Structure 1
Amino acid sequence: MTYYPLTEATAAAHLATIPVIGAVLGGTPADWTVREVGDGNLNLVFLVSGPEGGVAAKQALPYVRLVGESWPLPLSRAYYERLALADQARLAPDRVPALLHHDDDMALTIMEFLTPHRTLRGALVEGLRYPHLADHLAQFLADTLFRTSDLAVPVATKKARIAAYLGNVAMCRITEDLIFDEPYFDAPMNAHSVGLDDIVAAFRSDIPLRLAAQGMKARFLAAPEALLHGDLHTGSVMVTAHDSKVIDPEFAFYGPIGFDVGMILGNLWIAALAEPGLRPDGPSDGWLLAQADRLWAGFADRFAAHWRGLDPKIESGSLHALARRDSALLEAAITTRLDQIWRDALGFAGCEIIRRILGLAHVADFESIADVERRAGCERQALLFARDILVRRDALTDIGPVHRLLDPACVAP
């Protein structure tokens, strides 16, 4: 089949040619409703409802949708998303949507329609709260990251899985450029709020900061520790009061465990730092910081439990080979490894916060603050916080000192 981009007018007819999807939807295409709901950054996303049910159909475009055809992007990213969804469904089945159909030629991935779920970022902007969020995210992170690492997977199997994702070069290059490089110089597509010119100039000449960002890039490039989601922000999580699902793993590859952990922590901190600007008349209830705390603690506990639970009589990852015979060594190894993941997570979180304010892809958390001066004040505080956790990550040994860096006041410049 020759690739062509679907539209709201043509999507139903195409889906009708796929028997399994027709069975899920029920009726005929005339009975179906189609809405295109892509966020405008990369892809087309269609929500399709029929008499019997619904599906979410995601189609890659041959370019970055946010920018246009001047920035081409390979359609193969849809293949890697499908690969990751299948792996994640095996590793953490409760935390990802079911994959129903994939068409490599059309770069089309069709998943279950998550309802009544909504995007976490939008919900947090509105001030909504989800009691199980941190536990669900900790589960997803610990299960997918530990179970694809050298701790749990035999060497040959791990190397084969790394090889399976090696071709996702273009998506990794986006991360390399947008997160680790472009925020620190006058890149053509950078943008920032009025009132931040001074801190932007300071960041571009800040050698310790830029050196720390390049250190995190080095970790990103050369530490294939586990299968990463690769773009785990609050826009990649769908929630209800009782459920959380992680979506959109098209950036998936094997990289440092702390990257996924740091990305989601960084986005929770973004939400917390934006909250005084979004709701200036009411004090923060501290819920967002509590979620970050609970997420890290839950991840660390579950990751350690997976490690302790490995059967010493069954071959697992090579990094566990010596520790499984020595309980004291095992506990020391767990502590040391979690310390490394924490330091990496802090550095990656700092890079993520900075790029969301100074780079190309901004976020609704700050963009939804109507008062321009107040928004710039919140962003300034976020930038200073991000610099601190990135440059001083080796000295911030736990999440408590990190949260003490956050002044609840959001002061305009």
Structure 2
Amino acid sequence: MIETREGYAPQKPETLAAYLSGIDTVRRILGGRPEQWSIAEVGDGNLNLVFIVKGPQGGVAVKQALPYVRLVGESWPLPLSRAHYEHTALTEQARLTGALVPKIHHYDETLALIVMELLEPHIIMRRGMIAATEYPRFAEDISTFLARTLYFTSDLALTADCKKALIGAFAGNTALCKITEDLIFTDPYRVAELNRWTSPQLDAYAARWREDGDLKVAVSRLKLKFLSSAEAMLHGDLHTGSVMLTKEDTRVIDPEFAFMGPMGFDVGAIVANVLINFFAQDGHEEQAGERDSYRDWVLSTLEQIMFRFRDKFVALWRESPTGDAYPASLFAGAEGEARLDIERQAYMDRLWADTVGFAAAKMIRRILGLAHNIDLEWIKDEDRRATCEARVLTLARDMMVNTARYPSISAVVDAARRVRQEMKHY
């Protein structure tokens, strides 16, 4: 049953201008009179309405939650409160990372609506990567975003009371977490009505995944960690479709899935989506090998993200050990610091192992689950697409079941190259 609240109504271009004209900040940004503004609904995601509004002086983006999953329709209700959690997450991310997220101009709790900075000439990163565009700042910016948002919302930086308050602030975002719990960790491994894949080419893969006991145990362990490990504030849906950028500027958007969870989930999401794009390049090139240099850039960028993330996270821990975990009083002096530094590296190794598993789960869900990536979906030749997807599935299964084989990002990159070379056909 669809539930709304008093005063809520989905906006349309013809109603939005009147609404925005009553907000002083927005009116000043746009300039002119409402009848001079252009408004277009441009949402191409799975959940929400998104409007681009432009006036004589400038523009804004407007995002409004719908009381159901847009991809599916009213048969799948969804609470409007997700806009509250997105606003809360964006506010915290802005405090921690500055201009790596869009600026918020206005938030309306009743309408579940956020007015924010219009990012131009930024484009969705996934679209840029499909077009083989290199982004020289991305590794630096996304590693900073990950390190700062994860470290400063963890027990390493927060006192226990502050950490528990943050857990409480996101505890109600259960409906969005439920989507993740089902669509990523459960449905691809069972018969589920909304599952889909490239058929008949991948029918055998889908059947094997449903019968693979080792894989189901491994993904269930990851699901348990997702359910129970409130390590830090997560974006919750950090893929290349949640990044808008130019070659000079990077912004992370759409944190409505935010909650307190295992750090490796966010890091793994980035790893997964970059790997998916690497494998998808074969489906987008007109002549074999013409994108070899871009494939090299993709994998080199992935390595740089992980190297820089690890270095930045450890550096923050050394500089700001303000949390109740690993209290400084236990590690005083040179000997104590040396012992703690060993533990820091062990902590990062454990985080990396989680990252490998969560990345694998993210890769599999984009092939066998409900919501797919345009990296692969836009490959018109179904046989070529299936070959790319089969490579993704093959690497992902091994990463999830045999995580110890991947002690570093370099091991993952080497395996990706090897799988691509060895698998000539689905």
The residue number in structure 1 matching 2:156 is: 151
The residue number in structure 2 matching 1:178 is: 183
Q: CA deviation at 1:324?
A: 4.5
Structure 2 residue 55 is matched with structure 1 residue 59? no
The residue number in structure 1 matching 2:15 is: 10
Structure 2 residue 324 is matched with structure 1 residue 317? yes
Structure 2 residue 132 is matched with structure 1 residue 119? no
Structure 2 residue 132 is matched with structure 1 residue 93? no
| Greater shift in the superposed pair: 12-21 or 185-194 | 12-21
Sort the Cα spacing of 1:27 and 1:323 in 2 relative to 1 into closer, same or farther, 3 A: farther
Structure 2 residue 406 is matched with structure 1 residue 392? no
Alpha-carbon distance between aligned partners in 2 of 1:167 and 1:144, rounded to the nearest angstrom? 20
The residue number in structure 2 matching 1:260 is: 266
Instruction: Give the secondary structure class of the aligned counterpart of 2:271.
Output: helix
The answer to whether the Cα contact below 8 Å between 1:375 and 1:412 also exists between their aligned partners in 2 is: no
Alpha-carbon distance between aligned partners in 2 of 1:371 and 1:322, rounded to the nearest angstrom? 62
Alpha-carbon distance between aligned partners in 2 of 1:5 and 1:402, rounded to the nearest angstrom? 44
The residue number in structure 2 matching 1:162 is: 167
Aligned ranges 1:198-209 → 2 under 5 Å: 198-209=204-215
Sort the Cα spacing of 1:132 and 1:40 in 2 relative to 1 into closer, same or farther, 3 A: closer
Alpha-carbon distance between aligned partners in 1 of 2:213 and 2:282, rounded to the nearest angstrom? 31
* 1:383-406, Cα deviation, whole Å (9 max, x unpaired): 001101111112311111111212
Alpha-carbon distance between aligned partners in 2 of 1:412 and 1:35, rounded to the nearest angstrom? 42
The answer to whether the Cα contact below 8 Å between 1:58 and 1:110 also exists between their aligned partners in 2 is: yes
Alpha-carbon distance between aligned partners in 1 of 2:392 and 2:405, rounded to the nearest angstrom? 19
Sort the Cα spacing of 1:323 and 1:302 in 2 relative to 1 into closer, same or farther, 3 A: farther
The answer to whether the Cα contact below 8 Å between 1:323 and 1:330 also exists between their aligned partners in 2 is: no
The answer to whether the Cα contact below 8 Å between 1:78 and 1:250 also exists between their aligned partners in 2 is: yes
Instruction: Give the secondary structure class of the aligned counterpart of 2:191.
Output: coil
* Percentage of matched positions with identical amino acids: 47
Q: CA RMSD in A?
A: 1.2
The residue number in structure 2 matching 1:411 is: 424
* 1:105-145, Cα deviation, whole Å (9 max, x unpaired): 00001110011100000111111111011110000000100
Structure 2 residue 134 is matched with structure 1 residue 129? yes
Instruction: Give the secondary structure class of the aligned counterpart of 2:425.
Output: coil
Structure 2 residue 221 is matched with structure 1 residue 215? yes
Query: Of residues 312, 318, 321 in structure 2, which corresponds to 1:308?
Result: 318
Alpha-carbon distance between aligned partners in 2 of 1:12 and 1:345, rounded to the nearest angstrom? 44
| Greater shift in the superposed pair: 27-36 or 73-82 | 27-36
The residue number in structure 2 matching 1:196 is: 202
Unaligned runs of 5+ in 1: none
| Greater shift in the superposed pair: 276-285 or 333-342 | 276-285
- 2:235 alignment partner AA: H
Sort the Cα spacing of 1:44 and 1:275 in 2 relative to 1 into closer, same or farther, 3 A: same
The answer to whether the Cα contact below 8 Å between 1:55 and 1:112 also exists between their aligned partners in 2 is: yes
Sort the Cα spacing of 1:323 and 1:377 in 2 relative to 1 into closer, same or farther, 3 A: farther
- 1:393 alignment partner AA: T
Query: Of residues 245, 255, 278 in structure 1, which corresponds to 2:251?
Result: 245
Alpha-carbon distance between aligned partners in 2 of 1:280 and 1:269, rounded to the nearest angstrom? 20
Structure 2 residue 289 is matched with structure 1 residue 269? no
TM-score by length of 2: 0.94
Q: CA deviation at 1:9?
A: 2.1
The answer to whether the Cα contact below 8 Å between 1:323 and 1:333 also exists between their aligned partners in 2 is: no
* 1:246-283, Cα deviation, whole Å (9 max, x unpaired): 00000000001111000011000000010111115214
Query: Of residues 80, 84, 94 in structure 1, which corresponds to 2:85?
Result: 80
Instruction: Give the secondary structure class of the aligned counterpart of 2:223.
Output: helix
Query: Of residues 381, 389, 412 in structure 2, which corresponds to 1:402?
Result: 412
Sort the Cα spacing of 1:173 and 1:4 in 2 relative to 1 into closer, same or farther, 3 A: same
Unaligned runs of 5+ in 2: 1-5
The residue number in structure 1 matching 2:386 is: 376
Query: Of residues 300, 304, 322 in structure 2, which corresponds to 1:294?
Result: 304
Sort the Cα spacing of 1:323 and 1:306 in 2 relative to 1 into closer, same or farther, 3 A: farther
Alpha-carbon distance between aligned partners in 1 of 2:326 and 2:214, rounded to the nearest angstrom? 33
Q: CA deviation at 1:198?
A: 0.8
Alpha-carbon distance between aligned partners in 1 of 2:29 and 2:344, rounded to the nearest angstrom? 45
Alpha-carbon distance between aligned partners in 2 of 1:379 and 1:320, rounded to the nearest angstrom? 46
Alpha-carbon distance between aligned partners in 2 of 1:157 and 1:52, rounded to the nearest angstrom? 41
Alpha-carbon distance between aligned partners in 2 of 1:100 and 1:394, rounded to the nearest angstrom? 46
Sort the Cα spacing of 1:332 and 1:280 in 2 relative to 1 into closer, same or farther, 3 A: farther
The residue number in structure 2 matching 1:332 is: 342
Alpha-carbon distance between aligned partners in 2 of 1:319 and 1:123, rounded to the nearest angstrom? 42
Instruction: Give the secondary structure class of the aligned counterpart of 1:224.
Output: coil
